[in-house]
Amino acid sequence: TSNSGAFTYSEIAEQFQGGAFNAKQIQGKVLAMELTEHVKPTVHEKAPGKYSAEQEATIVSMANAGQSIEAIAEAVGAEVKSVRGKALSLLKAGAIQAIPHSTTPTKASAKADAFDGIDVAGSTVAELVEATGKTERGIKAMITRRGISCKDYTPKAKKEVVLQEAA
């Protein structure tokens, strides 16, 4: 306690028994002895920033102007993933209002509706199978999930199914 607050855990580890213990082991023992208030807090170094102040300003101005993430990445000369991460940290810091949109389509938006341009109510399940290239089971599942019906298939409501199983 005569050197209270003079050494960090790593400095104590270096000096104690010729460095036989690491900083985490020393920290555990000090914690067990309830002497943590006598250890100097470790100074945490901030990780060096990947973007310069000018690049950061460019990202903020372009994001607030509604530019796409790809355009911003090209302007600052960085990967889209990296710029997306920087945009997230700027969003948390309050420098931008939203993460910039992407111009490349995602898998979810690329999927088209199988029933687009098809008269489902006026078709049979077999006709829908032929038109969409899906299986009969797949068509029936889609129809049931959407709560619609076609010429030769009307999905049962959940209550009806439960009542039939109980009987």
Print pLDDT tens along the chain (167 aa): 577 878 888 888 888 887 788 888 888 888 888 887 878 787 777 777 788 889 999 999 999 998 999 999 999 999 999 999 999 999 998 888 888 888 876 666 556 778 888 888 899 999 999 988 899 999 999 999 888 888 998 888 766 666 777 76
| Number of structural domains found in the chain | 3
Same domain, residue pair 40 and 70: no
Residue with token string 């209002």: 97
Same domain, 41 and 3: yes
Show the domain range for 18: 1-45
Q: Say how far apart CA 40 and CA 4 lie, in whole Å.
A: 8
Residue 98 lies in a domain: no
In-domain check, residue 105: no
For 153, the 3-state DSSP assignment is strand
| 3-class state of residue 94 by DSSP | coil
User: In the 8-state DSSP scheme, what is residue 122?
Assistant: T
Spatial separation of the C-alpha atoms in residues 100 and 104, rounded to whole Å: 12
Please indicate, yes or no, if residue 9 is contained in any of the structural domains: yes
Residues 27 and 2 grouped into a single domain: yes
Question: Looking at the domain assignment, is residue 106 inside a domain?
Answer: no
Give whole-number Cα distances, 154 to 38, 121, 129, 139, 166, in Å: 76, 10, 16, 12, 21
